[in-house]
Amino acid sequence: MQLEEKLISAITQAFQELYNQPVTSFQIQPTNKEFEGSFTLVCFPLSKLSKNRLKKQHDNLVKVG
């Protein structure tokens, strides 16, 4: 299994466990060269699933990540 497939599986599982919500689509993009890492999760659309819109994006990423 390639890294991108593992990330997709882990992110899907994390949202199911943390928010009891199935995730059917999200984006993983190659990270821009000026940042560290290989892939970036586009998390803004996923914040709707957390059911707490007052939470900061960072808090959601820490839970998933």
At position 19, the amino acid (one-letter code) is Y
Q: Residue 55's pLDDT is what? A: 54
**pLDDT tens-digit readout, 45-58:** 776 666 554 355 55
Q: Which residue has the tokens 């060269």?
A: 33
**Residue ranges, the chain, pLDDT below 50:** 53-54
A 10 A CB-CB count for 42 gives 10
Q: Does this model's pTM top 0.85?
A: no
**DSSP E strands: which ranges in 1-65?**
27-30, 39-42
Burial of 5 (0-12, 13-18, 19+ CB in 10 A): exposed
